[in-house]
Chains A and B, each alone.
Chain A
Amino acid sequence: QITLKESGPTLVKPTQTLTLTCTFSGFSLSTGGVGVGWIRQPPGKALEWLGVIYWDNDKRYSPSLKSRLTITKDTSKNQVVLTLTNMDPVDTATYYCAHSSTSMDPTYAFDIWGQGTMVTVSS
């Protein structure tokens, strides 16, 4: 059974750096075709794709956040870390991590999601 869970601060100040950890179980991020993505959702708004990291350490980022966003993995700890610098109130959102794999689906849809963690940016 695949599970993912996000953890990190619930409140950050403007200009600070956000670090969120996605801890997962039930799969390995060293297995070919596997990816873990990050998606966020401001209150009452739509989902926004942030980026993804793959088993081979290939990383893809949203162009709108590319200068501020870093995604890394620690395969031995079954964790993926999101770092977003220079936080602003518009970054207030629920942040989700999610699993994808080409073992069943060649299109890399997100088949399992974490519960999400709400991050508020305010001084």
Chain B
Amino acid sequence: EVQLVESGGGLVQPGGSLRLSCAASGFTFSNYWMNWVRQAPGKGLEWVANIKQDGSKKYYVDSVKGRFTISRDNAKNSLYLQMNSLRAEDTAVYYCAKGGDGYNPWGQGTLVTVSS
């Protein structure tokens, strides 16, 4: 069974940092683009970033460029999102999702709250 499990969320002050992780299992992780998507409370989905199979290409939504860094460790079947200079508007549930023909499946999400 393909499974994605996010971790690392929590409460952080504005300007702080947080590193999210996504543990993948049930598929050959190194064969797929991987993605981060977020959802602010009561709002819609927002694509955040994605990374190519070998990590050679990374893309970000404009609002996180220069603050967030996506990375992966294919040996550990893991995806990461390093979030720096966090703002209140970054408060959201962050999902990782396996790429391919659509984002399928998604993890259960991890909540990041940016507040003083």
- Does B bind A? no
